[in-house]
Amino acid sequence: MRRDSGIKRNDWGALAIMDLLDVIKARRSVRSFTDEPVSEDMLRRLVEAGCWAPSGSNAQAWEFIVIKDSKQMKKVLRFSPGLFEVPAAMIFVCLDKNRAYAKGGELGRDLMGLFDVAMASQNILLQAHAMGLGTCVLKGFDQEAIHVLLEFPENISPELLIITGYPKKIPNAPRRRPLEEVIHWERWGGGQ
């Protein structure tokens, strides 16, 4: 990197454009959105962020179903008790069990693929927040009904639903356990 690039580095050598921890702390789960639509380009950017998540054995066994049509979202709502209103858009983050198995065997299919889906989802949430969108991750949907409704092949399993849109309101931060309560050094119960 050239010295005159204008890019600064912090004490750890990381780019100091923004503090990622501040971004993480500012992100909230949002369930109520304005009527403003989310563009296809923005939705593509969210999925692209998901595709750059870490992946066990580089399996990348994720698939994404993006839904913008309000009629289709209303159908999904019927099978999703944790979803109270139609958002601007939905993204189902799915696991391709065949691909996960081919790359990682039973461990890949039954465990690592789920981790990959979760990490892809977190990337989507952070990218959405950076773009001014609100999101909420839901697992409370009838998996079998969604499988039929969205015409998934047998090997594709819908694992998480991310709803997104422009937030009506940003909720307050939930309480988090203090770092001193959850961190252990060198051994369980080890302190500094």
Q: Give the separation between CA 37 and CA 80, rounded to whole angstroms.
A: 21
φ, ψ for residue 161 (rounded to 5)? -115, 125
Contacting residues for 178 by C-beta, under 8 A, at least 6 apart: none
Q: What is the pLDDT of residue 152?
A: 96
Instruction: Express each pLDDT in 14-60 by its tens digit.
Output: 444 568 888 899 999 999 999 999 999 999 999 999 999 999 999 99
The one-letter amino acid at 106: E
pLDDT of residue 3 exceeding 90: no
28: three-class secondary structure by DSSP: coil
Q: Binning pLDDT at 50, 70 and 90, where does residue 7 land?
A: very low
Structure tokens at 87: 């958002």
Contact 90, 66 (CB under 8 A): yes
Mean pLDDT for the chain overall = 90
Give the per-residue pLDDT at 70.
96
Q: What is the rounded end-to-end Cα distance, in angstroms, of the chain?
A: 37
Cα angle for residues 180, 118, 106 (degrees, 5° grid): 115
145: three-class secondary structure by DSSP: helix
For residue 1, what pLDDT is reported? 40
Please give the Cα distance from 152 to 5 (Å, whole number). Answer: 48
Which residue segments constitute the domains of the chain, with CATH numbers given?
33-169 (3.40.109.10)
Name the nearest CA neighbour of 38 among 64, 65, 67, 59: 67
pLDDT in tens, 101-142: 999 999 989 999 999 999 999 999 999 999 999 999 999 999
Name the percent of the chain lying above pLDDT 90: 82
Output the pLDDT for position 75: 97
Number of Cβ within a 10 Å radius of residue 7: 11
Q: Is pLDDT larger for residue 9 or for residue 53?
A: 53
pLDDT at 6: 47
| pLDDT value of position 64 | 98
pTM of the predicted model as reported, rounded to 2 decimal places: 0.88
Query: What confidence tier does 190 reach under pLDDT thresholds 50, 70, 90?
Result: confident
